[in-house]
Amino acid sequence: MGETGRGMKAAKSESNWIYSDFKWVSEKKARLASKSRERLLRSLSGGVRYSFLQNKLHIGKLSPGCLICGRGYWSCMFINRLCTANCFYCPRDRRKEQPPRAEKIIFDRPKDYVAYLEKFNFKGVGFSGGEGLLVFEKLLTYVNAIRDKFKNNIYIWIYTNGDLVNKDKLRELKKSGLDEIRFDISARGYSLDRVAEAVGIIKTVTVEIPCIPEDYEILKKCLMQMKKIGVSHLNIHQLYTTKYNYRNLIKRNYTFLRQELIPVLESEMSALKLVRDALNSRVNLPINYCSAAYKVRLQSKGRRHRFGPFVKDEFEDLTDSGYIRSILIKGPIEKIKRIIKILRINNHREGYLSVKDNQILLSAKLLKYINLDDFDLNIEYFQPRIGESINAREKGKGITLSSRKKILIIKKPIFRWEGFSSAAKKIFQKLSAGNIRLENIPKCLFRNYNLDRKESIKGMRREIESLMTIEKLEHLEKGFPEIY
C-alpha cells in the first residue's frame, strides 16, 4: 500500500472519523507549506541539533527521559484516567476511572509492573494519566516500588497539569525517588506558578505542552520566564488527532495531514517558529520539538525491538525498524543440499532451518552464499506486539511475570511476498543489507527488469511497490515527513 493509503487507514482507525469533516491539506497548501518549512529549517541551521535519524529537532540537551524514549527503553504507565482539567486537545478517554495500564495491559499491582519493567529491560518510566496526582497515594506506591527494585538504574518522571501540585506533595515525590516532573502549563492558562514551586525540589523540571497555534504569542512570552525560574527543558508536541479530540480540533479550523496520527499542520509550523524565536532571542533554554512522525516512527520502533526477540525464531532476523523478517527459499533438492553444505563449510550451523527437502528458512546474513537466480524466494514480515489475549489466527508466546500475571507477545503477520523476478531478488538482497536507498529502487529495478512483454510493465510496477513497502519494513524513515 502506498504512503497515502497507509496514512489514511491508520487515520481512520485513530479517529473514528468522518472523512469529509476534516479540512485536509490541499495540494497547493501542501506545496506552500513545504516551502515555508524548508525556509524555517534553513533559518534554524547552526542553532539546532537533530537526533534519532533526524526525526527529532532540538536546541541544547534532551532530558534524560527523552533520550531514553528515543533509544526505545521507555515505558509509559497510565496510572489513572480522570483529570481535573478538560483540555480541548486531550487525546485520551477520561470519562471513567481505569486501573493502571502500560501498553494497554492492566498492571493493578506494582509488583507485576516492576516484573514487567525488569523482563523487558526498561530504563525509564513516565507516569501519565489523566491527572496522576488525583491518585497520589497509588502513584507513590508505584514510584517507591520501582525505585526500591532498580535503585539508580532507572529514570522516573511524571506528567501533571499542576492543579494538585503543592510543596508537600513535591517533597514526598522527591523522597520516593522521582527524577523529573513535567508540567502541561496550557491546562492552567500558561501559569508558571506551580512550575516555580517544583524548581529546587525535584531535580529536573520540564514544561511539556502541545504547540497550540492560537497560543503562539503567549508561549513565546513565557520562554524567558521559564528560563528565569529554572525550567530545565521545554518539550513542544505537534497536535494530533484521536477519536476523543477530533471534534474539538475540527472546530478550530486546523489543517490536517494525511499521515498516521493525523497531525495538525499549523502546530508544526508554530513549533518551528517558536524554536526560531528562542534562538533569535538567545533565551538559552533547551527546547525539544516532538513531532507526530517522531512518535510514530521511534516509539513504535522501540516497542518492536523490545518485544520482537521474544517471538523471533533463530533463522529469522529483526530488521532495523524492528519487524521480524522470515525468508524461505525453494529450489531443486540437489541445489538446496549444496547450499546446506556450503553453509556448514563456512561454519554456519545455525541461522537456517530445513523445512522440507527442497526448502530452507534462513537469516538474511546467509544470502551472500546463495545465487538467488536458482531459487524461488518467499519473504514474510511480522510485527511483534504485546497483549493479554490472542485470536485464533495469531501466533504468540506467553511470558510469566508473577504467579498472577502472564502476558502474551504476539507475532502478527503484516506483509508477505513471493514470486520475485530475478531483478527484484537482487534488489531485495541489497535492501536487507542496507545497500540501496529508497529513491533508487525504481530506477534500479527498471534497469534490470526483463521487459519482454507488454504485461511486464504492470508486473514491474507491482514489484516496485512491494520493494518500497519492504524498504519501510527494513529501515526507519529519516527526517521530516512530506507534507500531504
Tell the smallest beta-carbon distance from residue 245 to ligand SF4 (Å).
9
User: Does 445 engage in binding with ligand SF4 (CB under 6 A)?
Assistant: no
Residue 87 or 154: which CB sits closer to ligand SF4?
Answer: 87
User: Does 278 engage in binding with ligand SF4 (CB under 6 A)?
Assistant: no
Residue 184 or 260: which CB sits closer to ligand SF4?
Answer: 184
- 279 by DSSP, 3-state: which? helix
Residue selected from 20, 86, 347, 389 as contacting ligand SF4 according to rule CB under 6 A: 86
Q: In whole angstroms, give the CA distance from residue 430 to residue 470.
A: 12
Residue selected from 131, 260, 266, 268 as contacting ligand SF4 according to rule CB under 6 A: 131
Strands annotated E in 388-431: 395-400, 406-418
User: Does 129 engage in binding with ligand SF4 (CB under 6 A)?
Assistant: yes
Q: In whole angstroms, give the CA distance from residue 30 to residue 8.
A: 16
User: Does 187 engage in binding with ligand SF4 (CB under 6 A)?
Assistant: yes
The DSSP annotation for 297-355 comes to: IIIHHHHHHHHHHHH--TT-EE-TTS-EEEEEEE--HHHHHHHHHHHHHTT--SSEEEE
Window contacting ligand SF4 (CB under 6 A); options: 50-58, 84-92, 111-119, 287-295: 84-92
Residue 92 or 348: which CB sits closer to ligand SF4?
Answer: 92
Q: Name the β-bridge partners of 51.
A: 56
| Complete edge-to-edge strand list for the sheet that includes strand 204-210 | 49-51, 56-59, 287-290, 233-237, 204-210, 180-183, 155-160, 124-128, 74-78, 101-102, 105-106
Grid coordinates representing 77 are 504507565
Residue 197: HSE in the Cβ half-sphere, 13 Å Cα cutoff: 14
Tell the smallest beta-carbon distance from residue 132 to ligand SF4 (Å).
9
List binders of ligand SF4 among 138-177 (CB under 6 A): 161
Grid coordinates representing 59 are 536546541
H or E element, residue 235: strand 233-237
Is residue 311 a contact partner of residue 411, using CB atoms and an 8 Å limit? yes
Window contacting ligand SF4 (CB under 6 A); options: 27-35, 129-137, 408-416, 427-435: 129-137
Window contacting ligand SF4 (CB under 6 A); options: 108-116, 124-132, 270-278, 372-380: 124-132
Q: In whole angstroms, give the CA distance from residue 135 to residue 125.
A: 17
The DSSP annotation for 119-188 comes to: HTT--EEEEESS-GGGGHHHHHHHHHHHHHHHTTSSEEEEEE-STT--HHHHHHHHHHT--EEEE-GGGG
Q: Looking at this protein, which amino acid is placed at residue 294?
A: Y
Residue that has been written with the C-alpha cell 525535584 in this structure: 202
Tell the smallest beta-carbon distance from residue 94 to ligand SF4 (Å).
6
Q: Name the β-bridge partners of 397.
A: 409
Q: Using the Cα atoms of residue 119, residue 124, residue 128 and residue 134 in order, give the sign of their dihedral.
A: positive
Window contacting ligand SF4 (CB under 6 A); options: 81-89, 167-175, 375-383, 430-438: 81-89
Total number of residues that touch ligand SF4 (CB under 6 A):
12
Residue selected from 33, 90, 133, 135 as contacting ligand SF4 according to rule CB under 6 A: 90
Tell the smallest beta-carbon distance from residue 481 to ligand SF4 (Å).
24
Residue selected from 130, 132, 308, 322 as contacting ligand SF4 according to rule CB under 6 A: 130
Window contacting ligand SF4 (CB under 6 A); options: 24-32, 62-70, 127-135, 138-146: 127-135
Window contacting ligand SF4 (CB under 6 A); options: 44-52, 82-90, 295-303, 377-385: 82-90
Tell the smallest beta-carbon distance from residue 160 to ligand SF4 (Å).
8
User: Does 83 engage in binding with ligand SF4 (CB under 6 A)?
Assistant: yes
H or E element, residue 103: none
Tell the smallest beta-carbon distance from residue 79 to ligand SF4 (Å).
11
Residue selected from 11, 62, 87, 467 as contacting ligand SF4 according to rule CB under 6 A: 87
Binding mask 389-428 for ligand SF4 (x = CB under 6 A): ----------------------------------------
User: Does 208 engage in binding with ligand SF4 (CB under 6 A)?
Assistant: no
Q: In whole angstroms, give the CA distance from residue 231 to residue 228.
A: 8
Binding site for ligand SF4 (CB under 6 A): 83, 85-87, 90, 92, 129-131, 161, 184, 187
